[in-house]
Amino acid sequence: MDLRPMALSVLGTLAVSVCHAGPPTLTLYTFESPPYQMSAQTADGVANVVGETVDTVTCAANQAGWSTNIRLAPQNRAAHSLSRNLIDGYFAIDPSTELDITAKRSDPVSLEKWYLFNTEPGPIPDTARIGVVDGSNEKAWLEANGYNIFLSVSSPSQLPALLRRGRIDAALMDERTMSGLQHMEGTGYNELNAHFLRYAPLYLYMSENFTANNPGFISSFNRYLPGCMEGQITLSAEEDKRIRQLAERLFSELDSMLDLQQAIDAGPRLETLADVLTFDSMWQARAPEKATDLATTILELPGSRTLNAWTLTHPELVTEALLSNNMGTLVAMSQLTSDYWQGDEPKFNAVVSNIRSGLTGLEAMYLSDIRYDASTSRFQVTVSAPVGPITDKLPKGVISLGLDIEEALANSRPH
């Protein structure tokens, strides 16, 4: 009997199976919260879940080797399904003591700006009747922090109407969610006063069964998150203005404590880019667990000691202070940083670019987008400014500060 046709048929079937094999699929729940997560239809009429946080989660999961099947569900049902291992994961939610017991939490996948909205000018009294969406992150946070909730509603669109009718005194909601409601007729969004409350990092939780069977997923997912979130968390024009004004005060304060130009002259300097790259490679290979000899030398300089002492006067606000020379190499730092050469990073290059565009002094300041720092578990912005005279369109150096964004906005709040 000639078995070759049968063998060829089996091989053909295997080849088709291999060709169609794809990555494993995550079953994830989330909830309706435009523009982060929302229902939409594709061109052929198929229901889909889209939005910025959906894009972030899908991007990081894909790079970690997984596809995603994302569905919308009420938050209470999603949390119940996760705890019962009926789904693989659930996002985007505030940290939950209850879920932390049975599920594994990723780094933040989104950052919301929570505001209290009201119709009357002036501060919101402690006795205000607060309205919130039932089952929302905002409601859970208010309850956990001892606030009295006057009214819970099923949809965010109900809150502006209740404010206008005087049924509630204030509504707690994400700023961009409320902003999106202004396109709905009769919301009265533009008539509301906004009072910043907090930045709310939101997370992906993976079920107990999934993490037991896939122990490396969360670390891989977290590794790809920063790139997938890049450019999605930005400052508003008003926030940008306030942070720049705060940075000007901080730079002035620091300048009065430390002669920055003298600190640049006292710091080490390498002569060639090849040397810089060699020392930077060794530095990155050992940081943050251990300092190279060069890093230890810099940390022991008077300039670094002064930077460290100054940051300790702003313990919640300033996360780090770095001073580099005109090559972009460090000459002083408040603590050991992850790399030696700053010359390939926006906090140095953007300042130089601003100077070459004709800006001088604090006009050449650089302010970054918001980013998550896994080492400190904080959302930060970086502000940089030129130091000293300009020679050949290069400053003598650049001073850079890392600022906790929530503290920065609290410290720059209009009076």
Segment 325-345, tens digit of pLDDT: 999 999 999 999 989 999 999
Better pLDDT: 42 or 291: 291
Q: What angle do CA 184, 188, 189 make, to 5 degrees?
A: 80
pTM equals 0.75
CA dist 295 and 333 (Å) reads 9
- Residue 265 CB contacts under 8 Å (≥ 6 apart), including other chains: none
Q: Let me know: does 404 contact 243? Beta carbons within 8 Å.
A: no
Mean pLDDT, rounded, for 20-46:
84
Helices (H) and strands (E) counted in the chain, each on its own, are: 16, 16
Helices (H), 267-330: 273-286, 293-299, 302-311
**CA trace torsion 401, 406, 412, 415 (10° rounding):** -170
Long-range contacts of 149-158 (CB under 8 A, 24+ apart): 156/33, 156/181, 157/181, 157/184, 157/187
Q: Would you state the pLDDT for residue 18? A: 47
Sign of the four-CA dihedral 306, 311, 314, 318: positive
Going by pLDDT thresholds of 50, 70 and 90, the confidence category of residue 307 is very high
Of 64-68, 111-115, 377-381, highest mean pLDDT: 64-68
Going by pLDDT thresholds of 50, 70 and 90, the confidence category of residue 20 is low
DSSP string spanning 64-100?
A: TT-EEEEEE--HHHHHHHHHTTSSSEEEEE---HHHH
Q: Give the closest residue to 51 by CA, choosing from 109, 94, 6, 122.
A: 109
CA dist 193 and 122 (Å) reads 9
Going by pLDDT thresholds of 50, 70 and 90, the confidence category of residue 413 is low
Better pLDDT: 106 or 111: 106
CA dist 309 and 57 (Å) reads 39
Q: Let me know: does 72 contact 49? Beta carbons within 8 Å.
A: yes
CA dist 27 and 120 (Å) reads 44
Q: Would you state the pLDDT for residue 375? A: 66
User: Around 228, how many Cα atoms within 13 Å sit in the side-chain half-sphere?
Assistant: 23
Q: Let me know: does 82 contact 207? Beta carbons within 8 Å.
A: yes
CA dist 314 and 410 (Å) reads 13
Mean pLDDT, rounded, for 265-280:
94
Going by pLDDT thresholds of 50, 70 and 90, the confidence category of residue 409 is confident
23 pLDDT above the threshold of 70: yes
Which pair of tokens denotes residue 136?
């929302």
Better pLDDT: 191 or 215: 215
Going by pLDDT thresholds of 50, 70 and 90, the confidence category of residue 184 is low
Going by pLDDT thresholds of 50, 70 and 90, the confidence category of residue 372 is confident
Q: Would you state the pLDDT for residue 88? A: 98
Q: What angle do CA 386, 388, 392 make, to 5 degrees?
A: 85
Which pair of tokens denotes residue 111?
């950052």
Going by pLDDT thresholds of 50, 70 and 90, the confidence category of residue 12 is low
Mean pLDDT, rounded, for 102-128:
90
Mean pLDDT, rounded, for 296-322:
96
Q: Would you state the pLDDT for residue 176? A: 84
CA dist 113 and 207 (Å) reads 27
Q: Would you state the pLDDT for residue 326? A: 95
Q: Would you state the pLDDT for residue 231? A: 73
Going by pLDDT thresholds of 50, 70 and 90, the confidence category of residue 5 is low
Find the largest Cα–Cα distance for the chain.
95
168 pLDDT above the threshold of 70: yes
Q: Let me know: does 388 contact 260? Beta carbons within 8 Å.
A: yes
Going by pLDDT thresholds of 50, 70 and 90, the confidence category of residue 403 is very high
The pLDDT tens digits for 131-163 are 999 888 899 899 988 899 999 998 888 999 999
Sign of the four-CA dihedral 257, 260, 262, 267: positive
Average pLDDT score, the chain: 88
17 pLDDT above the threshold of 50: no
The DSSP secondary-structure symbol of 236 reads -
The pLDDT tens digits for 243-270 are 999 999 999 999 999 999 999 999 999 9
Q: Would you state the pLDDT for residue 229? A: 86
